[in-house]
Structure 1
Amino acid sequence: MENKLYWVWLSKINGLGSVKIKKLLEKFQNAQGIWEASREELNNSIGIGSVLSQEIIKAKKNFLPAKEKEKLKKAKVKLVTLEDTCYPKLLKEIYAPPPVIYYRGALVKVSRPCLAVVGTRDCTEYGKITAYNLAKKLAEMGFVVVSGLARGIDTKAHQGALQTGMTYAILGSGLDHIYPPENNHLAEKIAQQGAVITSYQLQTQPQREHFPARNRIISGLSLGTIVIEAPQQSGALITANFSLRQGREVFAIPGNIRKRQSQGTNKLIQSGAKLVQNVDDILEELMLENYLLQDVNEEDAEDEIKTKRLNQQQKRVYNLLTDEVQQFEKILSNVTMKAKELNSILAQLEIMGLIKQLPGKRICLINQ
């Protein structure tokens, strides 16, 4: 049985989350070792006990590897496990990350930072336009826009990102149960230009209790969460709270004080969330050098550059740079723009993984 299928089996066991799986892996080396363990060996494992060991043995009897493999293949579903190197780095850092994530589409080979854009389903026209335009700009700059495929703000964020770059849609159901159903076509487009992702196995229906776990993955994948319109009781605020617990940034778009859709976002700003009026407000809060991949192999880096669509200003600045380190002032002297504008473009190129900004305002290309 392929190793990934052992992980699928483990993820189906009630009461066995990633924390307890980690304890079992310490004793049995890998998922296959857990599969081959006897009930007595499992029972003697730290933190497992007789009840859970019985559940593990029971789940093994009910799991048919060949049938599971065929089901995933037929549904065109791929999966990644906690032990895979392509498991998203930031998601792996949260407490109790999902042992298995299922997806359609592609997880990017070259590390690119993600930002969550979320908000209410019952949004205003202002909220729709803001979500669409902000996601479009973020994707153009190289961010992967993460949202929940819900009606309203989420839908507009995905649609905006698809215009210029990549987006991930996170589900609270199996990949064979897209919710809401009217977003089936949107999910297909996202899978072609990003990925539709879930921690839930096939045939799992969307249920209210699934969505907090979905929101936790949205924030876990992302450097920060941007909230655009949210009433005081909103799933978007749950996502923002997860971001805070995970040590990530929280941003909020200010709204009309007379609209209930703005009550939650304005309250977030009162509580310390960064007020966002433009993309620069987001960039100045992020320590991007901590998240950019430093060990990209040549083939991956070349592939990324070939597919990169730089706008005219980005190309102008990029073409001035070389492998040799240059001072910011020298670059500024060769362009007709203000220092703040150049700083913004350099940040965009850094997000795309094309340049490095070194201490002392020194800049160079990443070696290809």
Structure 2
Amino acid sequence: MTLNVSAQRAGIALTERQKIAWLRLIRSDNVGPATFRDLINHFGTAEAALEALPDLSRRGGSDRTFRIATVADAERELETAHRFGAAFIGIGEPDYPPALREIDGAPPLIAVKGNVRAATRPSLGIVGSRNSSVSGAKFAAMIARDAGAAGYVITSGLARGIDTAAHRASLRTGTIAALAGGLDQPYPPENIGLLQEITSGEGLAISEMPFGWEPRARDFPRRNRLIAGASLGVTIVEAANRSGSLITARYAADFGRLVFAVPGSPLDPRCHGANDLLKQGATVTTSSADVLEALAPLTQDDLLTRLDIKEPTIENTRAAPAAPDDSERNRIMEALGPTPVEIDDIIRHTALSASQVHLVLLELDLAGQLCRHGANLVSLLPNE
């Protein structure tokens, strides 16, 4: 079965000035994707948010100088990307991956190199063991080839083993390599040649990390999140317990994506994680048809055309709402503690407006006193 869904390119391109401001904002202290979104929603533009950062941090309780990325910093990174043959795509722009756009806390900017058309096509993620068996790698390659022939781009993490097999099998039909470090810092080194094949053909490399950023162990879950977020479903082939592939599967389930798992021998430690996923309800996958038949309804009902563009999409120049007074700020602080709580519950509990609550949370976040847990949950960080 061949996929019959045209790539959707809805969105509005950022100006060069806006892109510099966005890059400055996401590279400033304590500004992650969720904080970035809230800042744009509250202040209307990245430039207005940048002006407000020092005061917000101070009101949140920080007594140190707040580091804001400079125009020169952003221009240098843009120039580095240009020299590297890469570019940055904002979340509201036409070439941003539509499935990734809809997840909670999607990266506001991603660096890309290669064929950007791959980013707008429906994707299947394939991940698994780095020390894969011959049969596991062969099966992953079969799924990748068949899904590619059906119109899907294959997304994986450029790792050894299963990832490598999936990328190589889909070089001609399109594959996306999500990186844990900057685009100029691929890992592992032995796959640099593979990455060049991907980006010089029908594929694409993506990253949310700055150029020059060497990947560390804690960066790989972010890479796994990109794989799950950009895909309509994720296939797990040979995953050990406590592996990165299971992190990808967990993200996929959290995002409402389909999770496929290939059963393996109970005697092979490389299969324990995938077998456990099957016990938890993952789709049993013993052929390409298992994957393609499950994915088909997601494309036949034009899922990609229905994905709403999450904020921030277009900047605006509306005036920011007034900041809460001290008594209102205290009510919000009293509602917070070390236990994660839903932001909507804080709004109901305090009887304050959503904009007031979100502003105080921004202040605490920028001061390094707030922890965001996903699913709209926040808590106070313990005092050191």
The bucket for the TM-score relative to the shorter chain is 0.7 to 0.9
Task: Tell me, yes or no, if structure 1 residue 213 matches structure 2 residue 222.
Answer: yes
Q: What amino acid is the match of 1:93?
A: E
Task: Tell me, yes or no, if structure 1 residue 25 matches structure 2 residue 40.
Answer: yes
Q: What amino acid is the match of 1:179?
A: Y
TM-score by length of 2: 0.70
Deviation, structure 1 residue 53: 10
Q: 1:212 to 1:65 in 2, by over 3 A?
A: closer
Structure 1 stretch 171-180 or stretch 31-40: which is displaced more?
31-40
Relative CO higher for 1 or 2, CA cutoff 8 Å, sep ≥ 6?
2
Q: For 2:253, which of 223, 244, 259 is the aligned residue?
A: 244
Q: 1:2 to 1:252 in 2, by over 3 A?
A: same
Matched-pair contact (CA < 8 Å) for 1:170–1:218: yes
Identity within the alignment, %: 34
Q: What amino acid is the match of 1:85?
A: P
The SS at the match of 1:64 is: helix
Structure 1 stretch 188-197 or stretch 144-153: which is displaced more?
188-197
Matched-pair contact (CA < 8 Å) for 1:171–1:198: yes
Deviation, structure 1 residue 166: 0.4
Alignment-derived partner of residue 133 in structure 1? 142
Q: For 2:299, which of 288, 295, 300 is the aligned residue?
A: 288
The SS at the match of 1:262 is: helix
Q: 1:139 to 1:38 in 2, by over 3 A?
A: closer
Alignment-derived partner of residue 81 in structure 2? 72
Deviation, structure 1 residue 126: 0.6
TM-score by length of 1: 0.73
Give structure 1 stretches of 5+ with no counterpart: 296-368
Superposed, which structure 2 residues align to 1:65-144 within 5 Å? 65-108=74-117, 111-144=120-153
Structure 1 stretch 62-71 or stretch 152-161: which is displaced more?
62-71
**In 1, Cα distance between equivalents of 2:223 and 2:209:** 9
Deviation, structure 1 residue 81: 1.4
Deviation, structure 1 residue 24: 1.7
Task: Tell me, yes or no, if structure 1 residue 34 matches structure 2 residue 70.
Answer: no
Q: 1:189 to 1:52 in 2, by over 3 A?
A: farther
Matched-pair contact (CA < 8 Å) for 1:117–1:227: yes
Alignment-derived partner of residue 311 in structure 1? none
Superposed, which structure 2 residues align to 1:145-156 within 5 Å? 145-156=154-165
Write the deviation string for residues 261-288 of structure 1: whole angstroms up to 9, x where unpaired. 1111111111111011112211332322
Q: What amino acid is the match of 1:212?
A: P
Write the deviation string for residues 176-211 of structure 1: whole angstroms up to 9, x where unpaired. 111111111110111121101111110100110000
**In 2, Cα distance between equivalents of 1:135 and 1:212:** 22
Q: For 1:169, which of 177, 198, 218 is the aligned residue?
A: 177
Alignment-derived partner of residue 49 in structure 1? 60
Structure 1 stretch 143-152 or stretch 6-15: which is displaced more?
6-15
**In 1, Cα distance between equivalents of 2:170 and 2:69:** 42
Write the deviation string for residues 199-245 of structure 1: whole angstroms up to 9, x where unpaired. 11101001100000100110000011100001112110110011111
The SS at the match of 2:81 is: helix
**In 1, Cα distance between equivalents of 2:91 and 2:192:** 28
The SS at the match of 1:216 is: helix
**In 2, Cα distance between equivalents of 1:207 and 1:133:** 31
The SS at the match of 1:226 is: strand
Task: Tell me, yes or no, if structure 1 residue 12 matches structure 2 residue 20.
Answer: no
> In the comparison of the two structures, how many residue pairs are matched?
288
Deviation, structure 1 residue 123: 0.8
Q: CA RMSD in A?
A: 2.3
The SS at the match of 2:62 is: helix
Alignment-derived partner of residue 195 in structure 2? 187
Q: What amino acid is the match of 1:236?
A: S
The SS at the match of 2:68 is: helix
Alignment-derived partner of residue 178 in structure 1? 186
Give structure 2 stretches of 5+ with no counterpart: 1-15, 307-384
Q: 1:101 to 1:268 in 2, by over 3 A?
A: same
